[in-house]
Structure 1
Amino acid sequence: TLNGEWAPFTRCPVDHPAMLAADGFDRTPQCVVSTSASGTIKLGDTTVVTGKTSLQMGVVQNADGTSSVVAPASGALVAEPATVPGGLLGLMCPSDIFVITGICESLENSSLNKITATMESVGTPYAFDQTAGVLTDLPIVALPVRIHLENPLLGSKCYIGTAANPIVLRPENRDYPAFGMTFFQGDGTPDAAGEMSRIDLTGATQ
């Protein structure tokens, strides 16, 4: 169980072969965590208020300036489900498709109208740029995702985006985050001369 300064890093894939092979000289292993309490995403003309999201991944920084991303087995992005305003009526109606029009007419004021949307990772993030994390208006990472729509009438396999053709999110800072840095010994003891470090970038809107 991780505590203190290490508590946020619960899903970092530290046991992945690529992370274990990083020697700290030619290849430096890092754990990256990004959390947000809430946000919004636009589906068609509908704006959905999202809940808490947690992005976690490993990054191997190479001496030549390149890097590679390692995703945890559970997926890099974990998000709370969000309720779609207006439900199916708001997302699909009106429609000029006869069958959908019939469904729409039967849904008004029905419990079958409720629909939730959950964002899911469908691949390993890529194009990670650590410098962009401290600046504004630069893509920090590419996140391939799909949105799982859940409703009794839609079945269990209704998605926007697929593993083969995902939605790719490119988060950027809209304002500058507050910067902080702490150093540690290899066993996690705080030490200004330690070989391990934690960088904190907080407060920014992406």
Structure 2
Amino acid sequence: MAAASLFHRLKHRAAAAAAAAFALVAVAASPAAASTPQPSGPYAGMGTCPVASPQLQNPNNAVVGCVVATIGGGGFTVGSTKVNFSSPMTVKFGMYWAADGPTVTFPDETTAALFSTATPTDGTELSASPLNVPIPGLANFWPGVTSAIVLIEPAGPVTAFAPLSAGENYPLFKLPIKLHLLNAFLGLNCYVGSTSSPIVLSPTAGTTSPPPPNRPATGDPGSIAITADPNGYGASVIDFAGATLVDNALSVPGAHGCGILDSADWIVNSLFGVPSAPGHNTVTLTGVGAAIAVDTSVSDLTTAINATRK
């Protein structure tokens, strides 16, 4: 009876962990109501662009825009733990830059703007399906028990967005994330990284300069095309396709919130090798594509997007 009772409890907790993971993802990825016309053509996916936000409405802006980016694959390595991304991820946000805004000068002496960003109207800047990550040393036959269901969650907004850095040895953006681990033994509040101490991704399509033992790695800017607004408005859409971004200079903090009163933090730290210092971790993003709608007028950009709603 005791063994049967223990088995039942473990099964119940594993099911709860898995259900929570998929429920959280379902909520994050919920589409807009079917009755709401959505932008199409070059503005597809930009229905939540925060064009009405105070940031984009600021009259001091010289350039405003909307971004929809998709990451097709890749993965990350933390110490000796390797995880592949099993499905695409989507990143959406608005962007803006004042005429006297920050810039960066590259080694070839060209200069590019560093855009600030605004959160989309649905609050979902990053959408990612759950990962089934095996626990080192265990055969993975029972998701949520012999593995951890991992949700990649934003830990802050995208910053230092430099779309013209493609091909340069400079990060395309900075994105703070945290990893939410769901497991029958770890509970529902187990994280690696947090809002105050995130994992900061700074991927580049150029060449990295990591501390040892990692060695420089080079990405690929893919292809770039520019499309004029199909209805004659002033907006243009810059399309990036087939890019590969790399970051192997990032650090990964330790776990927190795992088990009762953080009693299992040390287990996660030991199994997955965290915290992990820079030079021991790598993130690779493959099949990266992005559509960036830009305009000098937020009202013109709004009208251009709305004209394609179906």
TM-score (norm: length of structure 1): 0.78
Matches within 5 A, 1:52-201: 52-66=88-102, 67-72=115-120, 73-84=122-133, 87-88=134-135, 90=136, 111=142, 112-132=145-165, 134-173=166-205, 174-184=219-229, 189=231, 191=232, 194-201=233-240
Matches within 5 A, 1:1-40: 1-22=38-59, 26-40=61-75
Residues 6-48 of structure 1, C-alpha deviations (whole Å, 9 max, x = no match): 113243222322112356xx43211122101211012331111
Q: Which amino acid aligns with 1:164?
A: S
1:171: how far off? 1.5
Asked if the contact 2:126–2:153 (Cα under 8 Å) also holds between the matched residues in 1, the reply is: yes
Distance 1:162 1:55 in 2: 19
Question: Which runs of 5 or more residues in structure 1 are unaligned?
Answer: 94-106
Q: Which amino acid aligns with 1:80?
A: S
Asked if the contact 2:125–2:154 (Cα under 8 Å) also holds between the matched residues in 1, the reply is: yes
Asked if the contact 2:140–2:147 (Cα under 8 Å) also holds between the matched residues in 1, the reply is: no
Distance 1:165 1:22 in 2: 34
Asked if the contact 2:224–2:238 (Cα under 8 Å) also holds between the matched residues in 1, the reply is: yes
Matched positions, count = 179
Larger RCO: Structure 1 or Structure 2 (Cα < 8 Å, ≥ 6 residues apart)?
2
Q: Deviating runs (4+, > 3 A) in structure 1?
A: 107-110
1:76: how far off? 2.0
Quote the RMSD (CA, aligned, Å): 2.0
Question: Which runs of 5 or more residues in structure 2 are unaligned?
Answer: 1-37, 103-114, 206-218, 246-310
